[in-house]
C-alpha cells in the first residue's frame, strides 16, 4: 500500500511517502520554500517526494492527513461563538482560509482524487513516537499547543495498538502557555521557545514562580489554565492581556529591547513551571499504564531539559526525530512498528556537484578526496579550530541537523561558541550549541542513561573541557552517534578523537541567520561564500574560498 502522509496549516508542514510501514522519503515544506516553519500545503515537498521515489500521483493509494479538519473546525467555531463580536474579523478570515485550505481541493489540484483518511492530531503524534520506538509496550505522552480540541494525551501502546486513556482539551494547553511567555519575552511564538529554554538557566526561577503558577490549577489528573490572563480564544496577534502583566508585575518586552535579569528570571520560572506540569503528566502516564517505557510526542517534546526528567518514572524514553507536527505526516501513515532513520530528504550525486562547482570557479577551489583522506583532512581542520560546513547524503527530517547538514567545530575553547553565535549564526550570545559524541564514549563525558540519537535530551556534562558546547549550568543537549546511524559522521568523530583525544564535535544546523536548514549544494555554496565558515565539505569534495 503506497500512502502519502501530509501535515499542514499549523506550522512545519511536511509530507512523506510510505510503502507498508516503510518510510521511503519525507521532507518539510520549509526546506523548499525557504520560509521557516512554513505552514502552507506542502506541494513542493510532495512534488519532490513523487520525483525521488519514482511514484506517479496515480500510484498513491491513500492519503493520510495528520489531523481531522472537521473536529478542528468544531473547536474554532465554538470558540468564536463565545465572543461573536470580538471575533467578527477573525471569523471572516477563518472562512476564507477554510475554502483555501480544503485538503480535498488541494489534492485534486495535484491530480489526486482517491481516498483521504483523517486521523486525530494527537493520535498522529502518538503513532509517530510509538511506532518508531523499540518498545512493544509503552506509555505515550503527547503535549503540544493544540490539535483539534486536544492539547495533551496519555495513551498506552501495546503491540500494534494505541489506546487513548486521558486527554486534556483546549484552551488548557502547556504548549500555548510556553508560547505565550515566549511572546511576552519579545520572541516569536512557535520559534522563540528555544531561546526561552536557552535563557532559563541564566535566571532565578523563584522570582516569578509563585506569580506564574497562579495561571493554572489542577484536578486529579488534569491541569486547567485561567483564561482571564490569555487571549487565545479571540486573538491571533497577542496571546496575553494586561491581567497577565499585572499578575507578573512586569511589562512585556518588545523584541528590540534589551534582555534584563527580570526577563531571564521569568524564562526560568516558566521552564520550572513547565517541568513541574510535565512531570505530573509523566507520573500519571506511569501510574495508569504501569509500563517501564515512555514515548514522547508533540512539539513540547523538543524541551530537552524536561524530557530528561522523565527518567524519574521510566527506565527508557523514546523521543522521535521530529516530535512536532512535521513528524505527524509520517505518524498518520503508520499502523505498526517501523525502523526509520531521520535521513529521508534530498541527496545529490557527485556529477551534479562537480558540474555546479565549475560555475563557482571564481570563488572557490575544490579537491575531490577519497573518503578516508577526506575524513582525515576534515578532522585535522576541526582540531585546528576551523569551522566546517558538512553536507552529506540525504537531508535530515526534523528540526535538528544530525550530521548530514551540519556546521561543525571544536568544542574545546569557549571562544568558538562566541564566534559561531556572533559571526556565523548572528544570533544571541546566550544560545547554546550541542555536542555530537561517539556513543561508546558518551557515558564518560555526559550524564546520559541511554543513547540520545536525536539530540532531544539535555543532560549534565561530566567534564569541563567542552566549554563551547556546554551551557551556563554545565548542561548539554547531547547527540550520540553510532556507526549504524551515520557511518561517515561516526568516522569523522572517531578521527577527531584520535587526534585530540576528545571524540566530540560541536554540531549546529547548516544555516545562517533566519534561514531554513540547507537543502542543496547550490544553497550550501552560496551560504559558504557569504559567511565566515572556513571550509565546506559536500560529499567527498573539500571546498575552500579562493580569496579567504
Between residues 207 and 301, which has the closer beta carbon with respect to Fe ion? Answer: 301
Closest alpha carbon to 389 in 523, 287, 490, 196: 523
Q: Closest separation between CB of residue 39 and Fe ion, Å?
A: 12
Q: Closest separation between CB of residue 156 and Fe ion, Å?
A: 20
Q: Closest separation between CB of residue 28 and Fe ion, Å?
A: 14
Between residues 300 and 542, which has the closer beta carbon with respect to Fe ion? Answer: 300
d(C-alpha 242, C-alpha 168), whole Å:
26
The number of C-alpha atoms within 13 Å of 197 and in the hemisphere containing its C-beta is 26
Is the peptide bond between 171 and the residue preceding it cis, with omega within 30 degrees of 0?
Answer: yes
Helix/strand/coil for 337: coil
Between residues 30 and 325, which has the closer beta carbon with respect to Fe ion? Answer: 325
Backbone phi and psi for residue 31, each to the nearest 5 degrees, phi listed first: -65, -30
Q: Closest separation between CB of residue 263 and Fe ion, Å?
A: 27
- Write the CA distances from 75 to 78, 116, 125, 319, 458, integer angstroms: 5, 21, 19, 28, 35
Q: Closest separation between CB of residue 129 and Fe ion, Å?
A: 12
Instruction: Give helix 69-82 / helix 88-100 axis angle, nearest 10°.
Output: 170
Q: Closest separation between CB of residue 149 and Fe ion, Å?
A: 12
Residues 122, 123, 126, 129: is their CA dihedral positive or negative?
negative
Q: Closest separation between CB of residue 441 and Fe ion, Å?
A: 35
Between residues 323 and 393, which has the closer beta carbon with respect to Fe ion? Answer: 323
Which residues of the shown chain bind Fe ion in the complex (CB under 5 A)? 144, 325
Between residues 152 and 378, which has the closer beta carbon with respect to Fe ion? Answer: 152
- Write the CA distances from 426 to 245, 420, 469, integer angstroms: 31, 8, 17
Q: What is the largest CA-CA distance in the chain?
A: 68
Between residues 144 and 193, which has the closer beta carbon with respect to Fe ion? Answer: 144
Q: Closest separation between CB of residue 122 and Fe ion, Å?
A: 7
Q: Closest separation between CB of residue 288 and Fe ion, Å?
A: 22
Which residues are CB-neighbours of 391 under 8 A, at least 6 positions away?
A: 404, 405, 510, 518, 521, 524, 536, 537, 538, 539
d(C-alpha 25, C-alpha 482), whole Å:
22
Position of minimal CB gap to Fe ion: 144
- Write the CA distances from 308 to 130, 301, 477, 517, integer angstroms: 18, 10, 10, 26
Between residues 157 and 297, which has the closer beta carbon with respect to Fe ion? Answer: 297
Between residues 29 and 144, which has the closer beta carbon with respect to Fe ion? Answer: 144
Q: Closest separation between CB of residue 327 and Fe ion, Å?
A: 9
Between residues 147 and 157, which has the closer beta carbon with respect to Fe ion? Answer: 147
- Write the CA distances from 305 to 17, 196, 222, 226, 263, integer angstroms: 32, 12, 22, 26, 19
Residue 385 region, left (φ>0) first, then alpha (ψ -120 to 50), else beta?
left
Instruction: Give helix 487-500 / helix 371-383 axis angle, nearest 10°.
Output: 50
Backbone phi and psi for residue 450, each to the nearest 5 degrees, phi listed first: -155, 175
Q: Closest separation between CB of residue 320 and Fe ion, Å?
A: 13
Between residues 325 and 495, which has the closer beta carbon with respect to Fe ion? Answer: 325
Strand pairing partners for 328?
none
Instruction: Confirm if 411 and 506 have CB atoms less than 8 A apart.
Output: yes
Q: What angle do CA 43, 46, 49 make, to 5 degrees?
A: 155
Between residues 143 and 542, which has the closer beta carbon with respect to Fe ion? Answer: 143
Instruction: Confirm if 60 and 28 have CB atoms less than 8 A apart.
Output: no
Amino acid at each position: 500500500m503506497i500512502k502519502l502522509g501530509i501535515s499542514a496549516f499549523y506550522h512545519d508542514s511536511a509530507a512523506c511517502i510510505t510503502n507498508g510501514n516503510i518510510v521511503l522519503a519525507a521532507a518539510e515544506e520549509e526546506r523548499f520554500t525557504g520560509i521557516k516553519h512554513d505552514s502552507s500545503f506542502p506541494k513542493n515537498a510532495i512534488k519532490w517526494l513523487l520525483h525521488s521515489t519514482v511514484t506517479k500521483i496515480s500510484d498513491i493509494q491513500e492519503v493520510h492527513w495528520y489531523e481531522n479538519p472537521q473536529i478542528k473546525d468544531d473547536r474554532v467555531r465554538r470558540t468564536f461563538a463565545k465572543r461573536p463580536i470580538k471575533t467578527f474579523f477573525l471569523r471572516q478570515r477563518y472562512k476564507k482560509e477554510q475554502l483555501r485550505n480544503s485538503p480535498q481541493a488541494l489534492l485534486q489540484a495535484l491530480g489526486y482524487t482517491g481516498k483521504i483518511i483523517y486521523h486525530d492530531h494527537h493520535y498522529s503524534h502518538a503513532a509517530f513516537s510509538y511506532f518508531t520506538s523499540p518498545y512493544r509496550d509503552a506509555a505515550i505522552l503527547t503535549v503540544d499547543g493544540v490539535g483539534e480540541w486536544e492539547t495533551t494525551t496519555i495513551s498506552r501502546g501495546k503491540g500494534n495498538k494505541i489506546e487513548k486513556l486521558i486527554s486534556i482539551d483546549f484552551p488548557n494547553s502547556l504548549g500555548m502557555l510556553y508560547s505565550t511567555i515566549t511572546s511576552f519575552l519579545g520572541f516569536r511564538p512557535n520559534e522563540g521557545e528555544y531561546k526561552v529554554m536557552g535563557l532559563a538557566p541564566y535566571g532565578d526561577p523563584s522570582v516569578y514562580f509563585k506569580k506564574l503558577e497562579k495561571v493554572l490549577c489542577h484536578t486529579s489528573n488534569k491541569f486547567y489554565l485561567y483564561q482571564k490572563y490569555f487571549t487565545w480564544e479571540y486573538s491571533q496577534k497577542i496571546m496575553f492581556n494586561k491581567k497577565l502583566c499585572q499578575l507578573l508585575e512586569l511589562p512585556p518586552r518588545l523584541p528590540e529591547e534589551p534582555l534584563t535579569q527580570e526577563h531571564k528570571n521569568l524564562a526560568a520560572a516558566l521552564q520550572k513551571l513547565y517541568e513541574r506540569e510535565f512531570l505530573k503528566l509523566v507520573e500519571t502516564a506511569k501510574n495508569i499504564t504501569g509500563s517501564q517505557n515512555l514515548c514522547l510526542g508533540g512539539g513540547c517534546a523538543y524541551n530537552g531539559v524536561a524530557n530528561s526528567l522523565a527518567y524519574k518514572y521510566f527506565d527508557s524514553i523514546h523521543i522521535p526525530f521530529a516530535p512536532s507536527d512535521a513528524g505527524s505526516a509520517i505518524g498518520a501513515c503508520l499502523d505498526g512498528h517501523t525502523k526509520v532513520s531521520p535521513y529521508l530528504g534530498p541527496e545529490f550525486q557527485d556529477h551534479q556537484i562537480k558540474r555546479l562547482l565549475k560555475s563557482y570557479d571564481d570563488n572557490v577551489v575544490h579537491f575531490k578526496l577519497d573518503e578516508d583522506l577526506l575524513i582525515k583532512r576534515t578532522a585535522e581542520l576541526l582540531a585546528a579550530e576551523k569551522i566546517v560546513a558538512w553536507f552529506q547524503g540525504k537531508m535530515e527530517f526534523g528540526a535538528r541537523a544530525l550530521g548530514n547538514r551540519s556546521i561543525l567545530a571544536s568544542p574545546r575553547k569557549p571562544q568558538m561558541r562566541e564566534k559561531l553565535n556572533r559571526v556565523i549564526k548572528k544570533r544571541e550570545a546566550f544560545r547554546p550549541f550541542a555536542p555530537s559524541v561517539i556513543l561508546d564514549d558518551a557515558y564518560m563525558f555526559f550524564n546520559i542513561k541511554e543513547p540520545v540519537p536525536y539530540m532531544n535530551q539535555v543532560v549534565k556534562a561530566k567534564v569541563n573541557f567542552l566549554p563551547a558546547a556546554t551551557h551556563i549550568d554545565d548542561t548539554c543537549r547531547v547527540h550520540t552517534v553510532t556507526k549504524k546511524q551515520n557511518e561517515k559522521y561516526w568516522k569523522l568523530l572517531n578521527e577527531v578523537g584520535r587526534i585530540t583525544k576528545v571524540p566530540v564535535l560541536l554540531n549546529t544546523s547548516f544555516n545562517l541567520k533566519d534561514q531554513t536548514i540547507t537543502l542543496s549544494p547550490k544553497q550550501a555554496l552560496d551560504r559558504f561564500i557569504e559567511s565566515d565558515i572556513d571550509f565546506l565539505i559536500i560529499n567527498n569534495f573539500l571546498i575552500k574560498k579562493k580569496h579567504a
